[in-house]
Amino acid sequence: MLGTVIHRLASVASTNDVARGLARSGAAHGTAVVAEEQMRGRGTKGRAWHSPPGLGLYASFIVRFDDPGGLAGSFPLLPLAAGLAAAEAVLESSGVEARLKWPNDLVRERKKLGGILTEGVLRPGAPGYAVVGIGVNVNQGEEDFPAGLREVATSLRLVSGRAQDLEALLRALCRSLDCWYNSLIRGEGDSVVRGCLERMAFSPGQRVRVTMARGEADGLFRGLGPDGRLLLDGAGGAVSFSAEEIEALEWE
């Protein structure tokens, strides 16, 4: 069960860093690291994640795969499963319906509510593991966000109009993430893809623009591939994109 063992810390550089160190030392599957504050919290592509003390949920989970090929086969869908679990946990604990911005953000009315950072470790011929980091803005008021984030970020408190219970959110997250992890190891990746599509911030047929290191591309959103890739109908025909190559994504 994910979250059976929880290391609770007052302040860390990054919960993912602590969890990765524990995993290297043999910490069991499902071990979680939860901090009141991150001094150098980070998201994908090296972006900073604002993590003020006591106001958000900052948690990382160690996820192990028993077979050597298990992580390689399931890893592309793991961030989607984590985002789906986070959206479900937010709804269960607060009543707030969050949407998923592929591949790793939770949003509410286009404002960022949470984020996912999944880091995998593959060892040839040996079982692998991953660290799944999940950050959710919970009890921030507008004044708690830096000026540069106030127009693009929100919190459960701001959306719901009331303070939220961090522990209730954590409990719901442990249950939901465990459920979707088990779906992956049973080979039910298609259920993860379907669940994400139901909660996406944009729907099939909407125009989506992606920014990559090599330039921009746009097209009509078709859905997600079985490996979690973004599918678009572009000017030159059908195209797909992996999470690793996307630097930014917008939709009309």
For the whole model, what pTM was predicted?
0.94
User: Closest by alpha carbon to 116, among 193, 173, 160, 154?
Assistant: 173
Domain check: are 96 and 36 in the same one? Answer: yes
Domain that holds residue 247: 207-251
CA 95 to each of CA 31, 82, 83: distance values in angstroms, whole numbers, following the listed order: 27, 19, 17
Domain check: are 131 and 229 in the same one? Answer: no
- Structural domains counted in the chain: 2
Residue 14 lies in a domain: yes
Domain check: are 245 and 170 in the same one? Answer: no
> Per residue of the chain (252 residues), what is the pLDDT tens digit?
899 999 999 999 999 999 999 999 999 999 999 999 998 876 666 677 788 999 999 999 999 987 656 666 778 899 999 999 999 999 999 999 999 999 899 999 999 999 999 998 876 666 788 999 999 999 999 999 999 999 999 999 999 999 999 999 999 999 999 999 999 988 899 999 999 999 999 999 999 999 999 899 999 999 999 999 999 998 888 999 999 899 999 999
Contacts of 164 (CB under 8 A, 6+ apart): 93, 94, 138, 139, 156, 157
